[in-house]
Amino acid sequence: MKLRHLSFALLALLVASCASHSRSVSSRPAAAPQPTMVERQIRNAVDAGDGDYQIRVLRSRVAAEPDNVNVRLELVKAYRERGYPELALEHCRLSAARFPDSGPAHLELARSLRAAGMRKQAAEELEAFLKRAPQSTPEYLSWLGIVRDEMGMWAAGEPAHRAAVELAPKSEYLHNNLGYNLLMQGKNDAAAAEFREALRLNPRSEAARNNLGLVLASTDAQEQAVLYWQSATDPATAHNNLAAYLIEKHRYVEARKELDIALGYNRRHAAALKNLELVSRLDGKPAVVSAQPPPETPWVRMKSSVRKLFVGPLPSQPAPTAKPSAVSAE
């Protein structure tokens, strides 16, 4: 969320008189200055606090317990949930200033700065705090790595991710985030190793599975990529994911083949239809859906039979295209 400066036009009332002794013009009170966006939000927040039982209680507790950092952070959370991010950020600043050694206060400030689009300030806040008070838990370093990644500072983000993994080597989301950073740097082999470790620790990690599929697709191990995606979703979505990757690499002929297979499994697959429309605009060829269904392998037939037997037919659902992703500590 970015703060935007609002400019207000000043209105002037011009009164012309034809004679010096003509009727006098009654004076009008000057228009009251319009409140700024932050002032309006503060007023709205005060009104909301007066009528919101939880905020009223939390404000009373902050007044009664000024040295209780946890109560202050609860108030921050309440303001954020009710749509007052600027007030939440200001309370985070006050909390961090009042409690310079509080890890949660500084982490909350960094997260609020990031949410406001102030990533550089968020990274500087975390760097300064960690230099002054090194932490034994990985969340701080993980967030520092994520913020640096979001700024495109992949090489600078890698040490933070590695340090977080060293503090919690059995945390699958930290291995996934390190793998994501390495993937963005083009270090595919190292990225694949991190994604495999994340899946070893948590075989149900959808983010790690999708990311590993993208690594395999980038190394032309496309059949393996489809198998990884298909183990977590369905054949149509798996082939559509590969098609999306091929479209990004401008390999339109291969992408059309994958979309043809995906739509053969599910002719109403929304993501595949959109990708077919996209590739049609890019290569200038018509968007044609083949009438022939894809050949069914014994594995596909067995999987379909088991699903129908124990689950029943599933409705077709639009599935998003697989994208490399990082996972926060939340």
306 vs 185, which has greater pLDDT?
185
The whole-number pLDDT of residue 294 equals 55
* Other residues' Cβ atoms within 10 Å of the Cβ of residue 121: 15
* Most confident residue range from 33-37, 67-71, 187-191: 187-191
The separation between CA 56 and the C-alpha centre of its own chain, rounded to angstroms, equals: 31
- What's the 3-state SS for 136-147? CCCHHHHHHHHH
Rounded average pLDDT over 282-303: 66
Whether 272 contacts 262, CB under 8 Å = yes
d(CA 185, CA 155): 7
Q: Where are the alpha helices (DSSP H) in the chain?
A: 37-51, 53-64, 69-81, 85-98, 103-115, 119-132, 139-150, 154-167, 172-184, 188-201, 206-218, 222-232, 235-248, 252-265, 270-283, 298-310
Q: Which residues contact 46 (CB under 8 A, 6 or more apart)?
A: none
| Section 100-106 average pLDDT | 93
Residue 177 or 319, more confident: 177
Residue 5 pLDDT greater than 50, yes or no: no
Mean pLDDT of 188-204: 94
Q: Which whole number is the average pLDDT over 92-121?
A: 93
Structure confidence at residue 35 as a pLDDT band (50, 70, 90): low
Radius of gyration of the chain (CA): 28
Contact 54, 74 (CB under 8 A): no
The pLDDT of residue 201 is 96
Report whether pLDDT(164) > 60. Answer: yes
pLDDT, tens only, 197-210: 999 999 989 889 98
CB of 240 within 8 A of CB of 263?
no
Residue ranges of domains in the chain, CATH in brackets: 37-134 (1.25.40.10), 148-219 (1.25.40.10), 233-324 (no CATH)
Maximum Cα–Cα distance across the chain: 104
| pLDDT higher than 50, residue 310 | no
Local confidence band at 328 (pLDDT 50, 70, 90 cut-offs): low
pLDDT at 230 (0 to 100):
84
Supply the pLDDT for residue 9. Answer: 30
Distance, first Cα to last Cα, the chain: 20
Please give the Cα distance from 205 to 313 (Å, whole number): 25
Residue with tokens 């190793």: 193
Burial of 316: CB neighbours in 10 Å, binned 0-12, 13-18, 19+ = middle
Q: What is the pLDDT of residues 225-272, one digit of tens each?
A: 888 788 878 999 989 999 998 998 899 999 999 999 999 999 999 999
Higher pLDDT, 228 or 144: 144
Inform me whether the pLDDT recorded for 311 exceeds 90: no
Task: Decide if pLDDT at 145 tops 50.
Answer: yes
> Is 289 in contact with 263 (CB distance < 8 Å)?
yes
What pLDDT does 26 receive? 38
Share of the chain above pLDDT 70, in %: 72
Q: Express as a percent the part of the chain with pLDDT over 90.
A: 47
Confidence band (pLDDT; 50, 70, 90) for 49? Answer: very low
Question: Which residues have CB under 8 Å from 248's CB, separation 6+?
Answer: none
Range of 9-13, 67-71, 157-161, 287-291 with top mean pLDDT? 157-161
Nearest-angstrom CA–CA distance, 328 and 330? 5
Residue 320 structure tokens: 């998003």
Least confident of 15-24, 170-179, 189-198, 281-290: 15-24
